[in-house]
Amino acid sequence: MRDNTRGVSSVIGVVLMVSVVVIIGTLVASFAYGFSDSTQADAPRISVSYETVDAGSEQTVAVTLEAGEAVRTDNLYVVASKDIDIGGSPVIAQESNASGLEKFTESSGSNPPQVGIGDTWEAGETVYLDPVGSAEGVTIGIYWNTQSVEGVNPGSVEGQDAYKIAEFTV
């Protein structure tokens, strides 16, 4: 009888080498993913209600934060299916300043933000949105961004971390 142990030892060697490579690959991958920004902020969860209110000859949409955590206003903006203006009351919201994106902290010059609700939007507070023309059939989305919305009116959104936290059709 012959001793054929050489074939067995090469198979064991290959199996050991493959397992070492898999273990090293797993360690390197877990180490590399540990440095990535995996602590992404969670978007706030809110519930809003809306109603149309008279604003002169047309109607403005009153959006009230009904429930949920307080949200920093400098991280919020509004997008609608037609140009819209944000304001603190039906008198302040004016369609002449309407645009496709309106940030909650919109203001001109050294004036305070038009929404007039402060640094955070809290339960019970109302923001007024004035779409160009009729408010009927307008779809409105409220977005939260992980970074502050920058710029003057209407502002610009930096980064890809924007989340729709409310949407409705009037």
pLDDT one-digit tens code per residue, 23-72: 999 988 887 776 655 555 688 889 999 999 887 777 889 999 999 889 99
- Domain-by-domain residue ranges, the chain? 1-39, 46-169
Higher pLDDT, 67 or 3: 67
Q: Which long-range contacts (CB under 8 A, 24 or more apart) does 163-167 make?
A: 163/43, 165/43, 165/44, 165/45, 165/46, 165/71, 166/46, 166/47, 166/48, 166/63, 166/141, 166/142, 167/139, 167/140, 167/141, 167/142
Quick: pLDDT tens for 58-108.
788 999 999 988 999 988 999 999 998 888 667 665 656 788 888 888 877
Using alpha carbons, list the distances in angstroms from residue 39 to 11, 42, 46, 95, 144. 44, 9, 21, 40, 17
Q: Is the pTM of this model over 0.75?
A: no
Report whether 151 contacts 108 (CB < 8 A).
Answer: no
Q: Which two tokens stand for residue 54?
A: 């008279």
pLDDT recorded at residue 169: 92
Residue 71: partners with Cβ closer than 8 Å, 6 or more residues away: 44, 46, 65, 120, 121, 144, 165
Handedness of CA 106, 76, 160, 84 (dihedral sign): negative
Q: What amino acid occupies position 155?
A: G
